[in-house]
A and B are shown apart, each in its own frame.
Chain A
Amino acid sequence: MQKKIILPLTDADLDSLKAGDRVLLSGTVYTARDAAHKRMVDQEKEGIPFPIDVADQVIYYTGPTPAKPGEVIGSAGPTTSGRMDLYTPRLLEKGLKGMIGKGYRNEEVKAAIKKHRAVYFGAVGGAAALIARSIKAVEVIAYEDLGTEAIRKLTIENFPVFVINDVHGGDIYEQGVAQFRQDH
């Protein structure tokens, strides 16, 4: 079954999403990966606020390829989320409601997802040309000097994801492997 969700995520959306669900997301998301996360959290310690208000927002971990002339963006698939784990609990504390990436989150992030009622979505790693078709508009918002790692505001339409970690503690990486593992 495939659900369609218009962002921002509502409380009802968060309750209804279960690990393993296929979801098409539409609305606004912000891109940020390694360097942007590090700068946001480092600068906050020096008293400089985040360049975007993350409350109720969704962050997409991606560093797109350069856009060809006439295109809004190049290829833009998810990068490995675990590298953002160090910074993610602080963003969730500030009200971030969703993340799109790929790969494991650590225990601290999974606990923070439950505590702050958020959701971790996985997009298909390596399906970057396909995913780019669901990105309709792009605007650089902050950290332009970081190039591919700058913070961009994306307008997305029917962006395909799976729920990896839900508010109820569900985890498709654990559940899926348990279902298909053939013990030796």
Chain B
Amino acid sequence: MKEIHYQAIVEEVSEMCKRANYDLGDDVYTAFKKALSAEKSETGKEVLTQLIDNADIAKAERVPMCQDTGTAVFIVELGQDCHIKGGSLIDAINEGVSKGYGEGYLRGSMIYNPLNRKNTGNNTPAIVHIELVEGSELTLHMTAKGGGAENMSAMKMLKPSDGMEGVKDYILSIVKVAGPNACPPLVVGIGIGGNFERCTYLAKKSLFRSVGERNEDPAVAELEEELLNEINRLGIGPQGMGGSTTALDVKVEVESCHIAALPVAVNLNCHASRHQTTTL
């Protein structure tokens, strides 16, 4: 049995929040450079150049790359032989978010209630998904998820008869409708299967994978590449002003589902695909 103290989680979460917002990962940075050399639109090239400069400034000056410093979303892999001492895991994560967003001069974007819309002031509550796993380790995956792209995300319960073509058409339709609003170039996260709520979770979970990393299942990996190619033929381009780079990557997660179902969820991410992982 491994013991992890509440305060150790608070400190780690706080640092993850800052790092995620200041330091665009190498995966996205490399994808920007690659997109810049391939982009056909002059306007698109100018946008990508600004994004590369922006990432450089944010990293060097330790300032947030985007003013939307996101909803703090966590996927926690909690080893069943791990014991958390000194308080609850959820409280520790929220305290870490409050600390990190406060110390890091990050924006509080969360409100108490969608109907009365008063800001909580410290970007809590975080959204926390816990997966119980074997072993004694605690692994925290964090993303600072921007609101603009989240707003353009969607899910649909397709009919099994819609098949693969129906799935692809639906995904492309969501990217088209999103256009400039989701801040392309995008990372497109897709869940296929599960049920109503599991499907959207799969789409979100897929966005925690690094840009450029393919699904381990070769058939799913092939689907990711095919969708990426199709999305980049839509012409939406960087910031929606036309071009050949609409998405930097497509991530697909597939799971079992009911004989009557074909759930598909499309969770769009802006280019500020900010994800962190730490194991305690």
Give me the interface of A with B, judged by CB distance under 8 Å.
20, 22, 35, 62-68, 74-77, 79-80, 82, 102-104, 122, 124-133, 147-148, 160, 162, 164, 172-173, 175-182, 184
Contacts and interface: CB of A to CB of B under 8 A. Distances in A.
Q: Which 4 A-B pairs have the closest CB atoms?
A: A176-B242, A181-B235, A180-B235, A103-B181
A175 B242 contact: yes
A129 B54 contact: yes
Contact of A176 (B109, B237, B272): B237
B50 A125 contact: no
A179 B69 CA distance: 33
Nearest to B68: A79
A154 B180 CA distance: 25
Contacts of B125: none
A102 B242 contact: no
A93 to B, nearest CB: 25
Given A130-B50, A148-B107, 6 more contacts: A62-B67, A66-B106, A74-B107, A125-B148, A147-B121, A180-B40
B270 to A, nearest CB: 6
A181 B240 CA distance: 11
A74 B242 contact: no
A95 to B, nearest CB: 27
Nearest to A80: B148
B244 A65 contact: no
A104 to B, nearest CB: 6
B148 A103 contact: yes
A126 B243 contact: no
Chain B interface, >50% SS class: loop
Contacts of B237: 176-177, 180
B239 interface: yes
A75 B183 contact: no
B154 interface: no
Given A79-B148, A80-B151, A130 B57 contact: yes
Nearest to B151: A80
Contacts of A128: 54, 64-68
A103 B233 contact: no
Q: Which of B50, B51, B107, B121 has the most CB of A within 10 A?
A: B107
B234 A177 contact: yes
Contacts of B119: 147-148
A130 B40 CA distance: 23
Contacts of A160: 50
B236 interface: yes
5 contacts: A103-B181, A130-B57, A148-B109, A180-B41, A182-B233
Contacts of B61: 129
Contacts of B244: 180
Nearest to B59: A129
Contacts of B180: 102-104, 122, 125, 173
Contacts of A66: 105-107
A172 B63 contact: no
B75 interface: no
Contact of B50 (A74, A127, A177): A127
B47 interface: yes
Interface string B218-253: 000000000000100111110111111000000000
A112 to B, nearest CB: 19
Contact of A173 (B57, B147, B179): B179
A162 B237 CA distance: 14
Given A173-B240, A176-B242, A177-B236, A126 B65 contact: yes
A65 B43 CA distance: 27
Nearest to A68: B105
B63 A129 contact: yes
A177 B242 contact: yes
A121 to B, nearest CB: 12
Contacts of B65: 75, 126, 128-129
Given A103-B181, A173-B179, A65 B105 contact: yes
Contact of A162 (B43, B106, B147, B233): B43
Contacts of B46: 22
Contact of A181 (B54, B234, B272): B234
B58 interface: yes
A103 B179 contact: yes
A97 B40 CA distance: 32
